[in-house]
Amino acid sequence: HDPKFPEGFLWGASSAAWQVEGATDADGRTPAIIDLNSQTKVPFADNSIAADHYHHAHEDVELMAECGFTSYRFSLAWPRIIPHSDGKVNEAGIAFYNELIDDLVAHNITPIVTLYHYDMPVWVDEELGGWKSRKTVDAFEHYARVCFERFGDRVKYWLAINEQNMQICYGDWLGVDKGCDDWFRDKWRVNHIMNLCHAKAVNACHELVPGGKIGPVPGMVPIYPFSSEPMDQIAAMNAEEFTEKIWNDTDAYGEYSTFLKNYWKNNDIDPGIEPGDEELMKSAKIDFIAVNCYRSNTARWAAANAAAQAQLMNKTGEKGKLIFPTVPGQYQLCYNPYVPYTDWDWEIDPVSMRYVMRYLWDHYHLPMVVTENGFGAHEHKDENGEVHDQYRIDFLRDTVYQLGLAIEDGVEIFGYNPWSFTDLLSTGNGIEKRYGLVYIDATDDELNEAKAAGVLPPMKRIKKDSFHWYSKLIKSNGAE
């Protein structure tokens, strides 16, 4: 049978400013830490052109409307809106987003807007001390208030910080650990600063946006125990706690769990909590949870004397290059013999969506919206200039089916926004790792050459097979 989706369910797709916009020095935008981070991922292209959405925004919205979208989740670039430490608003940056939002609204596409998706301005890092500094909380609050004041008349769904849990767990991957020399301890201070930023944003949204709703965006990966061996079960609980539950609990309850406080005590960690912080966190009540879910993980027990291993990402897209992490005395992640893997060693597991939805609903009883899910692949045009991505259709269809089952199970879910609409820059593999329903006709080499020559390529948009499939799915409200 086909599970039913509620009337008015939001069907769309997702992106992030630094991965889709390009135009990193246009109209007053200043550099972001993630620009510099993306430049280290050679030979892949950096984010200076990305999908050049900055110059193709109208065309992209037209394509979304053609597909039948009723929502679009994207992020605002902090360094476009507040480019300098004087805090002055850059009207050219505001104008770009005003046009985009107006365009979406004119096409009946509900904007779902992330305030922060990894693009901290360099000035915040250099002049305020970045994520290590409490001064950043005021700067972030100022930025958030400007966004709510300028866009809150049309944007009602807001997301505060994208995947805070993943930023803290994998600090080196996104450059969040910049300037920290003892990440094991420092990450909890960074995490605390982010929580204060989150809390300020939640309260400011409720104060400034009439009817506004705001939530966190955890990166959710269910953790399955490798076997029914009892210690594998404990390992799965440990992995779940340290990669996501700690953050889910803080977001939902506005306080640190006894589990986390105990961990800090046992490890002699000072997260830098000052008087008033806990009251602030407690006062910030989220309205929903935005869920990013692509995959599952599997955990087995790791003895206290096991060798520690940090997770090493697959940086090439050649299968088998991922090194799973081992945390002695807690868990190690490992391959799951029951699921296939992508070329980047990500589990292809549509059931993970149902699991995550059930899990979050059971724990927190908050409405949810999917803000990321997708299939990263190497892709090329065929001789007719078409892109056939049946594997993506299969994955999205199976995932939507599982999402429908979660709704039948009784979970409140109001939208599905897979990553991504067009191809865009991946966190580690330029445009080589593609997720889009729409193909961007440029390779990393071409983007690198274009950057060196200072000439923008045409960046033609080509609808993939998945675009046509998704359009039918939306028209049938999920029954396709």
Interface residue with ligand BGP among 419, 439, 467, 469 (CB under 6 A) is: 419
Which residues share a beta bridge with 225? Answer: 299
Cβ neighbours of residue 91 closer than 8 Å, sequence gap 6 or more: none
Closest to ligand BGP by CB, 163 vs 240, is: 163
Is 222 among the residues that bind ligand BGP (CB under 6 A)? no
Residue showing tokens 């998945």: 466
Tell the smallest beta-carbon distance from residue 369 to ligand BGP (Å).
Answer: 14
Tell the smallest beta-carbon distance from residue 296 to ligand BGP (Å).
Answer: 14
Is 163 among the residues that bind ligand BGP (CB under 6 A)? yes
Interface residue with ligand BGP among 48, 70, 162, 314 (CB under 6 A) is: 162
Tell the smallest beta-carbon distance from residue 9 to ligand BGP (Å).
Answer: 22
Question: Is the preceding peptide bond at 43 cis, omega within 30 degrees of 0?
Answer: yes
Residues 103, 100: Cα–Cα separation, whole Å: 5
Is 428 among the residues that bind ligand BGP (CB under 6 A)? yes
Is 433 among the residues that bind ligand BGP (CB under 6 A)? yes
Query: Is the alpha carbon torsion for 51, 56, 61, 63 positive or negative?
Result: negative
Tell the smallest beta-carbon distance from residue 166 to ligand BGP (Å).
Answer: 6
With contacts defined by CB under 6 A, name the span among 46-54, 89-97, 98-106, 162-170 that binds ligand BGP.
Answer: 162-170
Tell the smallest beta-carbon distance from residue 129 to ligand BGP (Å).
Answer: 24
Q: Report the residue number whose CB is nearest to ligand BGP.
A: 426
Residue among 372, 383, 386, 412 flagged as catalytic? 372
Closest to ligand BGP by CB, 271 vs 415, is: 415
Is 219 among the residues that bind ligand BGP (CB under 6 A)? yes
Interactions with ligand BGP, residue window 333-392 (CB under 6 A): 372, 376
The DSSP letter of residue 347 is B
Q: Is 318 among the residues known to form the active site?
A: no
Is 166 among the residues that bind ligand BGP (CB under 6 A)? yes
Interface residue with ligand BGP among 426, 448, 466, 471 (CB under 6 A) is: 426
* Burial degree of 338 (CB within 10 A; 0-12, 13-18, 19+): exposed
Residues 199, 191: Cα–Cα separation, whole Å: 12
Residues 345, 325: Cα–Cα separation, whole Å: 14
Residues 92, 266: Cα–Cα separation, whole Å: 50
The DSSP letter of residue 41 is S
Residues 243, 167: Cα–Cα separation, whole Å: 10
For every residue of 34-96, DSSP letters joined together read HHHHHHTSTTS--TTTTT-HHHHHHHHHHHHHHHT-SEEEEE--HHHHS-STT----HHHHHH
Interactions with ligand BGP, residue window 276-305 (CB under 6 A): 292
| Active site residues per annotation | 372
- Binding residues for ligand BGP, rule: CB under 6 A, are 16, 19, 162-163, 166, 219, 292, 372, 376, 419, 426-428, 433
